[in-house]
């Protein structure tokens, strides 16, 4: 089975987008349910930044400058603080995570990070498995050559992609806890 839309397999952004978009269906087949906690947190921070900016604009338009200087200073400080929190969250907490899922029958979470380096057609995948029952964590780094999951026409072969992730999860599950 392949996707209905072909992509340019020589375009790293298209490859990345196509592979990232296919992850939810792959992990659904592996009995994982997508978790939106990281995305929701990032959205809340972003919306907070927008509210602070909007409030600052509103105050600036409705009142005279001497009346709102103190409030504007507070709002600028809040804007800077929220922007720093957003940067920190993106850089150190989210760290390029493209998929987060929870196992339906256990208290296990899987984090998938994926990226391309040096414009090479090799998708670098990091799987992080966290078990909430005992607090254990396992990591696995793997390389996926994109010509194995895309055919000549630029179609993603979903069954091959699913099989590759299934094999990687088997390797991850066979590892001892770190």
Tell me, what CATH number does 146's domain have? 3.30.160
Helix axes 158-174, 12-29, angle to 10 degrees: 70
Residues 80 and 113 in one domain: no
Torsional sign, CA 147, 153, 158, 163: negative
Residues 27 and 108 in one domain: yes
Question: Average of pLDDT values for 146-156?
Answer: 92
Residues 111 and 169 in one domain: yes
Residues 85 and 59 in one domain: yes
Query: 44-62, pLDDT tens digit by residue?
Result: 999 999 999 999 999 999 9
pLDDT band per the 50, 70, 90 thresholds, residue 132: confident
pLDDT band per the 50, 70, 90 thresholds, residue 1: very low
Query: 67-92, pLDDT tens digit by residue?
Result: 999 999 999 999 999 999 999 999 99
Overall domain count for the chain: 2
Give Cα separations from 56 to 46, 48, 69, 99, 142 (angstroms).
Answer: 16, 12, 10, 35, 47
Distance CA 68, CA 73 (A): 9
Examine residue 7 and state whether it is found in any structural domain, yes or no: no
* Rg of the chain (C-alpha set): 21
Distance CA 95, CA 25 (A): 22
Residues 71 and 155 in one domain: no
Residues 43 and 27 in one domain: no
Residues 71 and 128 in one domain: no
pLDDT band per the 50, 70, 90 thresholds, residue 178: low
Does residue 70 or residue 3 have the better pLDDT? 70
User: What phi and psi, each to the nearest 5 degrees, are found at residue 4?
Assistant: -85, -15
Residues 27 and 55 in one domain: no
Chain-wide mean pLDDT for the chain?
Answer: 92
For residue 37, is pLDDT > 60? yes
Residues 83 and 123 in one domain: no
Examine residue 3 and state whether it is found in any structural domain, yes or no: no
Residues 67 and 27 in one domain: no
Distance CA 39, CA 45 (A): 10
Residues 88 and 131 in one domain: no
Of the three residues 73, 93, 113, the one that is the final residue of a domain is 93
The pLDDT score that the predictor gives to residue 177 is: 63
Q: Which domain holds residue 76?
A: 39-93
């Amino acid at each position: 089975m392949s996707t209905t839309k072909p992509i340019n397999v020589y375009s790293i952004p298209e490859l990345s987008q196509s592979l990232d978009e296919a992850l939810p269906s792959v992990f659904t087949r592996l009995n994982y349910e997508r978790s939106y906690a990281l995305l929701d947190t990032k959205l809340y921070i972003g919306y907070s930044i927008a509210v602070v900016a909007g409030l600052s604009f509103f105050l600036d338009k409705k009142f005279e400058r001497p009346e709102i200087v103190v409030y504007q200073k507070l709002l600028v400080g809040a804007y800077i603080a929220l922007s720093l929190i957003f940067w920190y969250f993106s850089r150190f907490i989210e760290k390029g995570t493209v998929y987060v899922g929870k196992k339906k029958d256990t208290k296990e979470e899987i984090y998938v990070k994926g990226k391309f380096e040096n414009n090479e057609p090799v998708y670098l995948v990091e799987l992080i498995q966290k078990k909430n029952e005992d607090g254990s964590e396992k990591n696995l780094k793997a390389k996926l050559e994109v010509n194995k999951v895309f055919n000549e026409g630029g179609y993603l072969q979903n069954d091959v992609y699913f099989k590759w992730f299934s094999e990687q999860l088997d390797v991850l599950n066979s590892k001892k806890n770190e």
